Amino acid sequence: MGALDGKVAIVTGAGSGIGRASAKRFAAEGAKLVIGDKTEAVFETAKAITDAGGTATALQIDAGNEADVAKLVDVAKTSYGGLDIAFANAGISGGMDGIFDAKAEDFAEILRVNLIGPWLMVKHAGKLMLEQGRGGSIICTASVAGIRSGAGGAHYSASKAGVINLIKTSAQQLSSTGIRVNAICPGLIETGMTERVFVYARENDKMDKVGRLNPLRRAGQPSEIANMALFLASDEASYVNGQAIAVDGGLSSSHPVTRQETGKPAV
């Protein structure tokens, strides 16, 4: 038996990266999927799932648009009979503009997708889960950039800090419903959003520099975030609620310091 046998799950941002890896992992563990993405690549993800024997319905959507998010939830209900898991993963980076360089419209767009989008999922998925009366798991992708500065631009970091507070507030407001709300805070993960970093590093023989600020001294892979998403989605995490869990190789465990040689104590 799979960890998600008999469950119905929504995953946004499923056209690539963390969303695609999580959708495929959920399906492999027995869940029926409704997946969304702004690109047509979401249909490739669905095909990969069905080719592997899983079940998935794909929709090309805008994760920050209320009608689109409501549609994902409605499709889960009408096509598969309900909803047990909602992973609001879709997001945009917005670059590294400083606070004096960023434009108000760019700031607003990042908040729309990265923060309003997860709230819309909590709102619509949460309502259906409440009506069903059997609990559920809502997961949002935040970031280590939402924990402290230094991992993203001001607008991106603010949006992810908002996600962290959103899941805590939502968990409290959904008290006694059996609906759990948690966030994952990835560190540096090799996805389309970070592609330029990895392309540059490989072309210039600098892969040893990528991820060097965390104790594991490497970047992460989408599958490693999918593993955490699977745990939070499953009944194994039945007592985990209102938490923002960093999956970052240890990056957020410390403030930036000058690194010592391995095995030698700091003076």
Which residues does the annotation mark as catalytic?
Answer: 156
What's the CA dihedral at 183, 188, 191, 196 to 10 degrees?
A: 140
Q: Which residues contact 34 (CB under 8 A, 6 or more apart)?
A: 8, 9, 10, 11, 56, 57, 59, 72, 75, 76, 79, 80
- Helix (H) and strand (E) counts in the chain: 8, 7
Sign, CA dihedral 41-7-112-182, equals negative
- At 246, which helix (H) or strand (E)? strand 244-247
